[in-house]
């Protein structure tokens, strides 16, 4: 019951997000103010910070790093710094509270200290984490029921079939593993929409295709020798449709001028795709039939095929009454 009460602010923050305007380049002032570091001194009579304080500090560290590396990516995935922090903190508290978890306050503190060393390309895709931020191993063997990956000896809790609220400990996904969302692929992998299989991001100069995505700041474009390879996108000035401009720097190639212009990030209900010769992407949402649809918050409706999708850290739990978004693992113990 304590866990449920602590997760309630996450649902409220995500519900408020659906009414928040986009603000490319910097979060709203209120979100910046909410991102102040948490005092590590104890206020509960303990020798160190409470679990809530520690996890808020963790959320601050993760979201500040992402904001530094790519304000655009933060907006596209979370919508605001405040929502980003709420989700990371809630997931942190859930992991610490899980039975048989390998997650400890010392592990969280170690990760907080290591986050500033995490390279920007890897932060954007949540891959190649510093060792201190790796998923801790729990005590549950493969096949045991689980809610979060830190409970498992394998450090992976698999939710199959899709739509399950809880899962079972098992081997971590590998490239080629079937998936519905990137959350099912784990750190370092992405779920390719056209194949519904997990894949790694390809580096500069590597072969790419509609089924093999490129790394941060790269685009899949035709090479002089034939085939398609990951090429560096433009960061200013002239551009061509491919490889185009660096999305993670908040840029898109304007179809009329052939120059890199500001990528527009728009709220739910607005047009997305190419609008007036300039690309528009969705604020914490999905572009469906040319219109932005908000990701559904905890407690909101979802559909694995038709959408809407769930917020980050969320899973779409399917029952006879339909799909409902939950923070992954929140109903499993």
pLDDT tens string 133-144 = 999 999 999 999
pLDDT at residue 20, rounded to an integer: 32
150 vs 176: CA distance, rounded Å: 23
Mean pLDDT, to the nearest integer, of 87-93?
Answer: 97
DSSP 89-123: HHHHHHHHHSTT----HHHHHHHHHHGGGS-HHHH
pLDDT at residue 18, rounded to an integer: 33
27 vs 85: CA distance, rounded Å: 12
* 26 has a pLDDT exceeding 50: no
pLDDT at residue 74, rounded to an integer: 97
Beta carbons of 305 and 104 less than 8 angstroms apart: no
5 vs 3: CA distance, rounded Å: 5
For residue 268, what are its two tokens? 């739910």
pLDDT at residue 184, rounded to an integer: 86
108 vs 102: CA distance, rounded Å: 11
In the chain, the percentage of residues whose pLDDT exceeds 70 is 86
293 vs 286: CA distance, rounded Å: 5
Per-residue pLDDT band at 225 (split at 50, 70, 90): confident
| Higher pLDDT among residues 181 and 13, named by residue | 181
Query: What Cα–Cα distance (Å) separates residue 148 from each residue in 99, 144, 163, 177, 220?
Result: 10, 12, 15, 19, 34
pLDDT at residue 13, rounded to an integer: 35
Question: How does DSSP classify residue 247?
Answer: G
* 275 has a pLDDT exceeding 70: yes
Burial readout 174-205 (b: 16 or more C-beta within 10 A, e: otherwise): eeebebbbbbbbbbbbbbbeeeebbbbbbeee
Q: Is the peptide bond before 161 cis (omega within 30 degrees of 0)?
A: yes
Per-residue pLDDT band at 47 (split at 50, 70, 90): low
Mean pLDDT, to the nearest integer, of 122-146?
Answer: 95
* 81 has a pLDDT exceeding 60: yes
| Higher pLDDT among residues 12 and 190, named by residue | 190
Question: CB-based burial of residue 16 (10 Å sphere; 0-12 exposed, 13-18 middle, 19+ buried)?
Answer: middle
In the chain, the percentage of residues whose pLDDT exceeds 90 is 74
Q: Collapse the DSSP code of 60 into the 3-class scheme (helix H, G, I; strand E, B; otherwise coil) and give the result.
A: helix
Beta carbons of 246 and 235 less than 8 angstroms apart: yes
Mean of pLDDT over the chain: 86
- pTM for the model: 0.83
Mean pLDDT, to the nearest integer, of 122-130?
Answer: 91
* Distance between first and last Cα of the chain: 10
Mean pLDDT, to the nearest integer, of 229-242?
Answer: 93
């Amino acid at each position: 019951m304590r866990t449920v009460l602590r997760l309630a602010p996450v649902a409220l923050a995500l519900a408020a997000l659906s009414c928040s305007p986009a603000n490319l380049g910097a979060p709203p002032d209120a979100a910046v103010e909410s991102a102040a570091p948490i005092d590590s001194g104890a206020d509960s009579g303990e020798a160190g910070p409470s679990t809530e304080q520690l996890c808020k500090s963790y959320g601050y560290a993760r979201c500040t790093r992402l904001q530094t590396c790519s304000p655009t990516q933060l907006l596209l995935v979370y919508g605001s710094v405040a929502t980003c922090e709420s989700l990371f903190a809630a997931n942190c508290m859930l992991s610490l509270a899980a039975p048989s978890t390998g997650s400890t306050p010392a592990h969280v503190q170690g990760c907080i200290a290591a986050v500033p060393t995490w390279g920007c390309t890897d932060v954007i895709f949540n891959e190649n984490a510093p060792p201190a931020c790796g998923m801790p191993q729990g005590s549950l063997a493969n096949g045991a029921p689980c809610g979060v990956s830190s409970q498992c000896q394998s450090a992976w809790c698999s939710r199959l079939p899709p739509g399950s609220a809880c899962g079972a400990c098992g081997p971590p996904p590998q490239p080629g593993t079937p998936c519905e969302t990137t959350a099912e692929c784990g750190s370092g992998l992405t779920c390719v929409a056209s194949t519904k299989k997990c894949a790694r991001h390809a580096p500069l100069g590597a072969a790419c295709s509609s089924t093999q995505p490129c790394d941060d700041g790269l685009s899949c474009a035709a090479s002089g020798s034939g085939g398609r390879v990951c090429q560096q996108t433009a960061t200013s000035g002239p551009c061509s449709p491919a490889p185009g401009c660096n999305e993670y720097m908040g840029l898109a190639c304007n179809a009329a001028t052939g120059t890199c212009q500001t990528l527009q990030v728009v709220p739910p209900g607005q047009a997305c795709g190419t609008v007036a010769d300039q690309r528009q992407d969705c604020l914490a949402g999905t572009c469906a039939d040319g219109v932005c649809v908000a990701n559904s918050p905890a407690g909101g409706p979802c559909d694995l095929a038709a959408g809407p999708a769930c917020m980050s850290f969320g899973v779409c739990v399917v029952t006879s009454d339909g799909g409902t978004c939950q923070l992954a693992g929140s109903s499993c113990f």
